Amino acid sequence: MSKIKLITDGGADIKPSVAERYNIRVIPFSYTFDGENYCRTGIDETTDEFYARMRASEVLPKTTQITPAQYTEAYLEEIEKGYDTIIVVSLSSTASGACQNAIMAAKEVMEDNNCDIRVVDSQSFTCLYGQPVIHAAHMIEDGASVDEIENYLKKATADINAVFVVDDLIYLKKGGRINAATLLFANMLDIKPMLMVGGGLVVQADKVRGEKRVHKKIMDMATEHCGDLNGKTVIFVYGDVPDKRDKLEADVKERFPEVNVKFCRIGQLIGCHIGPTVYGMVYSTSGEFDIGDYEEE
């Protein structure tokens, strides 16, 4: 029987305590502020410290790739511990070269070692693939085969999506994603972009004026896919705006009083690109995947 090890990256926003509990290896991404202060996601500074520094900085931090050498080192260390099968779940290959680096390293390691390494491209971000990784850890505990786990991961990462909003567009301006004129126009009209994951990227699905309409739109977009949220689990994601998260939760519970609620704080990797004012809701688009075993801590 195969001895299976799960590996993911820092973009999945799985907290160290949860990763340790479920024997998940998390390879961190790295980032810098103003070309200095080299940090590893989830290791070198807390999420609070990261967002405080981001709010004070004139420019967004820059992220760097996980290299093939880092993956190779991780694979060999796990093989040395007795694992003969490794499943890697990576950040979207459309947005990052990390997935391709994981595949490249896997091919080289498998040539010289009697092992099976499978890389699943999540085509996604944050707990949208962090949740399936945690569920896969439960599957390993229950004795599922590598084929069963790989099949689940491919289906779940394709199904789980989110609708979210960036409350303050200044961070998109700092990152060069919008220009000054667009920022001024959006602020004047209180326009908020509604974002989803599509084609392995974060894409604008709509735009709405005013917070009250934003929350209604989030719920409408979610239920358009998966129907009534009562009895289902959603994960509220947020950067550094717990007040916005709490207001969205209250609005969702008012409309769907029997909804089950989890929380995920968006970490440094995604925060580097979108800023601290992001928040929204993650759900199974088909309603077929139970995301209730997600754990923030």
pLDDT in tens, the chain (297 residues): 689 999 999 999 999 999 999 999 999 999 988 777 788 998 998 999 999 988 888 778 888 999 999 999 999 999 999 999 999 999 999 989 999 999 999 999 999 999 999 999 999 999 999 999 999 999 999 999 999 999 999 999 999 999 988 876 555 544 444 343 343 334 444 678 888 888 988 888 888 887 778 999 999 999 998 999 999 999 999 999 999 999 999 999 999 999 999 999 999 998 888 888 889 999 999 989 999 999 988
At residue 189, the pLDDT reads 43
Q: Is the dihedral of CA 17, 18, 19, 21 positive or negative?
A: positive
- Longest distance between any two alpha carbons in the chain, whole Å: 62
At residue 168, the pLDDT reads 62
Per residue in 51-94, pLDDT (tens digit) is 998 888 877 888 899 999 999 999 999 999 999 999 999 999 99
At residue 116, the pLDDT reads 98
At residue 172, the pLDDT reads 52
What single-letter amino acid sits at 235?
I
